[in-house]
Amino acid sequence: MKTDTYHHYSLPPADKVALAKLRHLYWPDVADQSEDESLRRYLEQEIIVVMRDKNGELAGSLKIPTSSVMIDDQHYQISGLSEVMIAPQYLHKGFGTSLILTAFDLIQHDDADFSIFTCPPDLVPFYELGGWKSSPQTRLIGGTNSEPIASDKVGTVAMTSYFTPIAMDHEQQIADSTIALNVGSHIMW
């Protein structure tokens, strides 16, 4: 296995095509968004991790989005996971675990105070293998003010990991919060 990391706009064209095909397998009814200025700013901050098999074929990928949030007058830099995908022929062979462990390491050694994202309840044990823990009382709000996406309304559970002293000192306060990601239309981590 080999992993490469790219900023969203530096992803090679062949990988863009391969990821679009894989994304369509996971979310066949989701169309690509038209790129407005707010989406462009969001994508400029996004890291894409691509995993390849020994022959260089796409085995999986994930995105590491970042944002900054204010919780009870404290500013935090956060990162999460999005669009975690493994090609069907590589499912249940350790590729997914390796991919999220790589992402955890990247996030932990970046500027994030903490990492947070949502997942379906049945995937909580998988993400716990990667270093996150379930935070069912935390409510994430994605989307926009006019079209919010609330984690508790879409049946997902927040996953968290705290890295900096300020985040660790406020872990319970953060966990008991509703956190607006401020990430743009139709976007949820």
The answer to whether position 161 is within a domain reads yes
The answer to whether position 162 is within a domain reads yes
Instruction: Identify the domain containing residue 118 by its residue range.
Output: 2-180
Provide the 3-class DSSP secondary structure of residue 39. Answer: helix
The answer to whether position 42 is within a domain reads yes
Token readout for 128 is 């716990």
Per-residue confidence in pLDDT tens, the chain, 189 aa: 899 999 988 999 999 999 999 999 998 877 666 666 767 777 788 899 999 999 999 999 999 999 999 999 999 999 999 999 999 999 999 999 999 999 999 999 989 999 999 999 999 999 999 999 999 999 999 888 888 899 989 999 999 999 999 999 999 999 999 999 877 777 888
The CATH number of the domain where 173 resides is what? Answer: 3.40.630.30
Structural domains in the chain (count): 1
CA distances from 19 to 48, 51, 83 (A): 10, 11, 10
The answer to whether position 188 is within a domain reads no
Q: What is the pTM of this model?
A: 0.91
The answer to whether position 86 is within a domain reads yes
CB 117 within 8 A of CB 142: no
* Whole-number pLDDT of residue 140: 92
Pairing relation of β-strands 58-64 and 82-86? antiparallel
Provide the 3-class DSSP secondary structure of residue 27. Answer: coil
Report the chain's C-alpha Rg in angstroms: 16
The enclosing H or E element of 13 equals helix 13-26
The answer to whether position 135 is within a domain reads yes
